């Protein structure tokens, strides 16, 4: 079906619902599935009461329903894939305002009370997040709040209540253009007095921080004068830790004399009633629906509730039910309802992904550089150096430089020599020179070991320029990310000698040269700089910016910037795409790639991992994955300075001089040989409820060949038998949300500790759903080839974010094609990439390319549910509305989206790991300190926030996950990589704290996670599955904490001692010493240290 035909179907469907064909864009995704069920409860329902008191309107799973005030059968008045929410009756009762993304972006809409004659009020087409529409007293306008992601705060707007009504910002987030973050203002939950004099709202000062309980106050604004006064909790403390309670979600009584608002006490939510005349303030109801103070309040801090017209009762949702709350007595009665849900869904996007076999083929070639004569290419791959002739079907050959990992090769101007870096975590690195063609041992050029990067010859070939920084500092950074670092720019004679420092600053990228003798160009904090080689100074020559992260205000600097050898042009890389631009004469103003002021053109649509100039600036080169591209500069079709950016100028292969070369680098796959029988243990197979006592598990090479009770399985001749009597065997754990933050990027660490810690704690597969760079793809290959030890590594490759700035389905399709075509991964991560239209483009392109996209909802149910409706295969992080009622439980279970709660981090409440850190005090645990650097143990365990257990939400969130599981849903387990290995066990304990049985938690950690990432060759002890398993001393079915009794771990058929990671079978091999074993603190505390018990 064509996209145009699909759009017509959507228009027809909306017309049935009374949505006019206004010319606004519509949602592009055509539904392919449907879930239908009846429900008598709903999650986080915002309810409104008609002015005559006869009708209720509420939202349920992104649709609006109406209901007689006494209850009964709810009538659905909006339908389809659009997410409609937060209805509000007009003062005359004839219309309903609501929020909807049916135009492709969320906007403010108004319709008749039966859902017909819908009009789009706001006409935003970017990615607005609107919250809580509220009518003015006279019905002429509508107030609505907007979340500013770049400021993490909420603004108040007012729109005229007509189609395309003009919007006016009433209360901005920034009181002034120069306001600091602690001066930002948030406004939420507006309610207007019927006399038209005032509006009331919740107000907060400072950025909103997830997982914390911010102090909100209730304010009243005089609409005539603009004056503002605080009516609830004006007594802020001079000490921020002693602020009084928080107050939010005000609702004004019809006579304007009473105000109900929400508050937070003992980890739960209550309602209070304030008499505005006497200032008498009393508790009205406690507990009620759990608030969203610690989550993203994109549907407000409490669901909508309202007074009845006589002011005697409140209508609200609580615990999945609609309730009538008597104001005088506080008594609550259920308003029964039954709603039929018929929810269209996008395509089912989960795919089966088989483990690669045969030789390991490098997914990525790093820093490829064309030779000066244009005939050869040098690059690094799999931590070695390679050279390749630039001819069809040419294969790279490895350069013999020893076994030390080598990176970042660069040619001498005459093409006879290559300079490169070596590096290990233990020893640091050096600069080296080697002959490109003649047999000769490499020559070390540097005397001092350090972290060296990006060595480049000067044009005369006499000097090498490189970046140098402290190896100690590198290895003591918890996470390494970004192009810049604090470093020295050094020069050294090409024959070797002590280095001369020519600049010290935050810098990055590759040194560059033009015809400007005596100067080198390099990226610094303020852009591309011209640096004198004699060290006499530097000056900025160019700034280029483009789309940034959703949480950053304004455009962001590009990731890399390179000037042409003639100094006229520049290449800029951002969001893994390559741009060409004319260098402006002045450097005082940045060039913004979103609307450039110079000649420009985007050169790639699939992507560019690395790029460079060649042939003296006549040629542009780049690589994506393991493919190298080049094209002549003369063939680029530029946009004029005044024009908007066009689509990428991408000629077909062979046209306008475009050439491409596949660099096929292969290494043997790590494959153990031998047959092992694990005999006598209790096998908890995850094949249904199967438990095999006194089991025989036959391992042949890297697979399980057979499993059964002793004597029921035929043993291959010559098999080794290992007695595991009294032990418990379970499948290896699969952490399906594990950010391996410890990896070093660019110059890689082959002893990175995170995967080692994972394996030692029984996580045999780690899946990183957003590794932030392409390096994780290389680590996957290094692990598969046996050059590294640790858990298996899989990832999505770099995730899609707001900085991709997609403007069309075609852009999305081209960008996503690099994942299967170049990175050989079918897993994809999308997170806050754009508005609903853009997210649906991602789903559509994923289906076309056979990708399996996962996503997360930013702790916002609105985003979570819309993405589940669109067919995304995975939903990560907590569904924060507590409790999850039947509507959401059925949608999640029947859609077959996988749900991974990551309870150890922010989940709508405090991070769950804080609870387990306080409970277990792991700082001095010998195993943790063996597999994690001590500075990391300090960072993670020495100082955490203690809280009363009542404040934690994670057991309640886990309870919702248990409901989804019991309804047939797919649950996985992910630790977020906070404390690699150990944190996964705490995640299992958190699941059980919420109502999972130990068996259910184990299933989620194995088969559930395997299904979540599409790798069902893992996750159970069955014939034909990969031999990943754990051997425990204690029974985990009796107590989930017994998973920590791990004795031995098998990954890929190799058996290791879990306490040491010494290999036990088929080889006996100790774990090589790790760099940080000699990096810990003294054996005893220094004099004067703490002697507290």
Question: What is the average per-residue pLDDT within 1056-1069?
Answer: 98
Give the pLDDT score at 25: 57
CA distance 883 to 868: 18
Residue 742 tokens, joined: 């410890």
Contact 336, 72 (CB under 8 A): yes
pLDDT at 24 over 50: no
Contact 1013, 679 (CB under 8 A): no
pLDDT at 14 over 80: no
pLDDT at 735 over 50: yes
- The pLDDT tens digits of the residues spanning 150-165 come to 999 999 999 999 998 7
Query: How many alpha carbons lie under 13 Å from residue 237 in its C-beta half-sphere?
Result: 9
pLDDT at 13 over 50: no
pLDDT at 496 over 70: yes
The SS3 assignment for 1087 reads coil
Contact 562, 512 (CB under 8 A): yes
Contact 371, 377 (CB under 8 A): yes
Whole-model pTM: value is: 0.95
Give the pLDDT score at 945: 85
Give the pLDDT score at 1082: 63
The SS3 assignment for 315 reads strand
CA distance 111 to 95: 6
CA distance 369 to 377: 6
Q: How many CB atoms lie within 10 A of CB 1068?
A: 8
Give the pLDDT score at 21: 32
Give the pLDDT score at 18: 36
Instruction: Give the gyration radius of the chain's Cα atoms.
Output: 31
Q: How many CB atoms lie within 10 A of CB 472?
A: 11
- The pLDDT tens digits of the residues spanning 667-705 come to 999 999 999 999 999 999 999 999 999 999 999 999 999
Contact 600, 582 (CB under 8 A): yes
Q: Residue 479: CB partners within 8 Å, gap ≥ 6?
A: 741, 742
CA distance 81 to 800: 22
- The pLDDT tens digits of the residues spanning 931-949 come to 999 999 999 999 888 889 9
CA distances from residue 885 to 77, 315, 318, 870, 880 in whole angstroms, order as listed: 21, 18, 10, 20, 12
pLDDT at 1080 over 80: no
Question: What is the average per-residue pLDDT within 371-396?
Answer: 96
Contact 468, 487 (CB under 8 A): yes
DSSP assignment of 817-840, as one string? HHHHHTS---EEEE-S-SSHHHHH
Q: Residue 26: CB partners within 8 Å, gap ≥ 6?
A: 7, 10, 11, 14, 102, 103, 104
pLDDT at 737 over 60: yes
Question: What is the average per-residue pLDDT within 968-994?
Answer: 97
- The pLDDT tens digits of the residues spanning 37-81 come to 999 999 999 999 999 999 999 999 999 999 999 999 999 999 999
DSSP assignment of 372-426, as one string? TTSSEEEEEETTEEEEEESSTT---EE----SS-EEEEEE-TTSSEEEEEEEETT
DSSP assignment of 90-151, as one string? -TTSSEEEEEE-TTSS-EEEEEETTS-S-EE-----S---EEEEEE-TTSSEEEEEEEETTT
Question: What is the average per-residue pLDDT within 443-464?
Answer: 97
Residue carrying the six token digits 């991974």 = 900
Question: What is the average per-residue pLDDT within 885-907?
Answer: 97
pLDDT at 1084 over 70: no
* Residue 1006 DSSP class: I
pLDDT at 453 over 80: yes
Q: Higher pLDDT residue, 733 or 645?
A: 733
- At 529, the pLDDT band (50, 70, 90 cuts) reads very high
CA distance 934 to 1082: 11
Contact 295, 908 (CB under 8 A): yes
CA distance 306 to 76: 20
CA distance 1018 to 54: 56
CA distance 740 to 775: 11
Contact 734, 764 (CB under 8 A): yes
Question: What is the average per-residue pLDDT within 763-770?
Answer: 98
Question: What is the average per-residue pLDDT within 420-449?
Answer: 95
DSSP assignment of 499-530, as one string? -EEEEEEEEEEEEE--SSTTEEEEEETTEEEE
CA distance 848 to 991: 36
173: phi then psi, degrees, rounded to nearest 5? -70, -35
What number of residues does the chain have? 1093
């Amino acid at each position: 079906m064509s996209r145009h035909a699909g759009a017509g179907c959507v228009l027809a469907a909306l017309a049935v619902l009374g949505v006019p064909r206004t010319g606004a864009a519509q949602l592009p995704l055509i539904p392919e599935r449907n879930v239908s069920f009846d429900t008598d409860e709903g999650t986080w329902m915002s309810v409104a009461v008609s002015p005559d008191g006869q009708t209720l309107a509420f939202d349920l799973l992104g649709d609006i329903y109406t209901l007689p005030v006494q209850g009964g059968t709810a009538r659905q008045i909006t339908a389809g894939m659009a997410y409609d929410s937060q209805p509000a009756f007009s003062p005359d009762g004839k219309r309903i305002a609501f929020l909807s993304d049916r135009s492709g972006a969320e906007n403010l809409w108004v319709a008749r009370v039966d859902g017909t004659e819908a009009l789009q009020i706001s006409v935003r087409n970017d990615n607005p997040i609107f919250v809580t529409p509220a009518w003015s007293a006279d019905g002429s306008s509508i107030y609505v709040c907007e979340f500013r992601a770049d400021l993490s705060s909420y603004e108040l707007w007012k729109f005229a209540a007509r189609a395309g009504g003009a919007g006016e910002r009433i209360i901005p987030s920034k009181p002034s253009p120069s306001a600091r973050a602690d001066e930002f203002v948030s406004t939420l939950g507006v309610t207007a007095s019927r006399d038209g004099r005032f509006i009331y709202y919740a107000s907060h000062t400072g950025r909103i921080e997830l997982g914390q309980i911010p102090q909100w106050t209730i304010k009243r604004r005089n609409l005539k004068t603009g004056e503002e006064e605080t009516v609830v909790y004006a007594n802020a403390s001079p000490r921020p830790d002693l602020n009084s309670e928080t107050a939010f979600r005000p609702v004004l009584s019809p006579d304007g004399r009473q105000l109900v608002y929400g508050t937070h006490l003992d980890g739960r939510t209550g309602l209070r009633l304030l008499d505005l005349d006497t200032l008498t303030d009393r508790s009205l109801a406690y507990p009620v629906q759990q608030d969203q103070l610690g989550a993203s309040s994109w549907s407000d801090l409490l669901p909508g509730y309202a007074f009845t017209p006589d002011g005697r009762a409140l209508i609200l949702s609580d615990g999945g039910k609609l309730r009538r709350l008597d104001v005088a007595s506080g008594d609550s009665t259920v308003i029964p309802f039954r709603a039929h849900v018929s929810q269209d869904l996008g395509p089912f996007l989960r795919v089966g992904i088989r483990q690669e076999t045969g030789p390991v083929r490098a997914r990525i070639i790093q820093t490829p550089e064309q030779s000066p004569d244009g005939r050869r290419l040098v690059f690094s791959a799999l931590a070695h150096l390679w050279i390749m002739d630039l001819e069809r079907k040419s294969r790279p050959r490895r350069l013999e430089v020893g076994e030390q990992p080598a990176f970042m090769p660069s040619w001498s101007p005459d093409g006879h020599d290559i300079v490169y870096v070596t590096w290990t975590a233990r020893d640091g690195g050096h600069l080296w020179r080697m002959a490109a063609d003649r047999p000769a041992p490499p020559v070390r050029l540097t005397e001092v070991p350090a972290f060296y990067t990006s060595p480049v010859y000067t044009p005369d070939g006499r000097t090498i320029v490189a970046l140098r920084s402290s190896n100690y500092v590198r290895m003591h950074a918890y996470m390494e990310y970004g192009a810049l670092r604090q470093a020295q720019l050094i020069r050294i004679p090409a024959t070797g000698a002590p280095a001369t420092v020519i600049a010290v600053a935050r810098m990055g990228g590759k040194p560059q040269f033009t015809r400007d003798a005596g100067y080198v160009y390099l990226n610094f904090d303020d852009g591309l700089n011209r640096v004198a080689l004699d060290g006499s100074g530097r000056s900025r020559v160019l700034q280029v910016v483009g789309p940034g992260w959703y949480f950053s205000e304004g455009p962001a600097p590009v990731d890399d910037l390179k000037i042409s050898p003639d100094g006229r042009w520049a290449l800029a890389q951002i969001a893994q795409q390559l741009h060409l631009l004319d260098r402006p004469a002045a450097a005082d103003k940045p060039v913004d790639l979103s609307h450039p002021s110079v000649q420009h053109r985007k050169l790639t649509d699939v992507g560019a991992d690395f790029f460079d100039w060649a042939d003296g600036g006549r040629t542009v080169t780049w690589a994506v994955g393991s493919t190298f591209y080049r094209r002549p500069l003369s063939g680029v079709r530029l946009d004029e300075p005044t024009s908007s950016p066009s689509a990428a100028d991408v000629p077909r292969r062979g046209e306008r001089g475009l050439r491409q070369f596949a660099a096929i680098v292969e290494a043997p796959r790590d494959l153990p040989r031998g047959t092992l029988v694990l005999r006598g243990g209790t096998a908890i197979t995850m094949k249904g409820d199967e438990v095999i006592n006194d089991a025989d598990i036959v391992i042949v090479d890297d697979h399980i060949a057979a499993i059964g009770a002793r004597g029921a399985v035929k043993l291959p001749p010559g098999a080794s038998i290992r007695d595991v009597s009294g032990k418990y065997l379970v499948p290896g754990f699969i952490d399906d949300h594990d950010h391996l933050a410890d990896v070093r990027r660019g110059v890689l660490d082959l002893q990175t500790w995170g995967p080692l810690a994972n394996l030692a704690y029984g996580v045999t597969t780690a899946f990183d759903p957003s590794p932030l760079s392409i390096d994780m793809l290389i680590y996957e290959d290094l692990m598969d080839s046996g050059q590294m030890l640790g858990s298996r590594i899989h990832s999505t490759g770099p995730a899609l974010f707001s900085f991709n700035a997609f403007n069309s389905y075609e852009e999305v399709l081209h960008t996503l094609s690099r994942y299967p075509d170049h990175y050989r991964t079918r897993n994809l991560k999308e997170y806050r990439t754009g508005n609903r239209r853009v997210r649906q483009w991602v789903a559509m392109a994923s289906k076309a390319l056979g990708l399996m996209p996962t996503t997360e909802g930013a702790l916002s149910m609105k985003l979570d549910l819309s993405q589940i409706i669109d067919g995304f295969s995975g939903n990560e992080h907590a569904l924060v509305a507590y409790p999850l009622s039947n509507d959401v439980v059925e949608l999640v279970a029947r859609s077959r989206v996988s749900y991974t709660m990551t309870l150890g981090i922010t989940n709508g409440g405090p991070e769950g790991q804080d609870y387990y850190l306080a409970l277990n005090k792991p700082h001095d645990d010998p195993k943790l300190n063996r597999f994690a650097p001590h500075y990391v143990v300090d960072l993670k365990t020495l100082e955490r926030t203690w809280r009363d257990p009542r404040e934690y939400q994670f057991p309640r969130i886990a309870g919702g996950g248990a409901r989804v599981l019991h309804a047939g849903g797919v649950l996985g387990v992910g630790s977020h990589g906070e404390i690699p290995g150990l944190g996964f066990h705490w995640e299992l304990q958190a699941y059980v704290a919420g109502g999972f049985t130990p068996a259910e938690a184990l299933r989620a950690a194995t088969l559930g996670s395997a299904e979540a990432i599409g790798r069902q060759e893992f996750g159970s002890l069955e014939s034909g599955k990969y031999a990943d398993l754990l051997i425990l001393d204690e029974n985990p079915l009796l107590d989930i904490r017994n998973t920590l009794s791990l004795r031995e771990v098998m990954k890929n058929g190799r058996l290791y001692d879990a306490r040491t990671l010494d290999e036990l079978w088929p080889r006996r091999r100790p774990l090589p010493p790790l760099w940080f074993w000699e990096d810990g603190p003294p054996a005893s505390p220094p004099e004067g240290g703490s002697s507290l018990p």
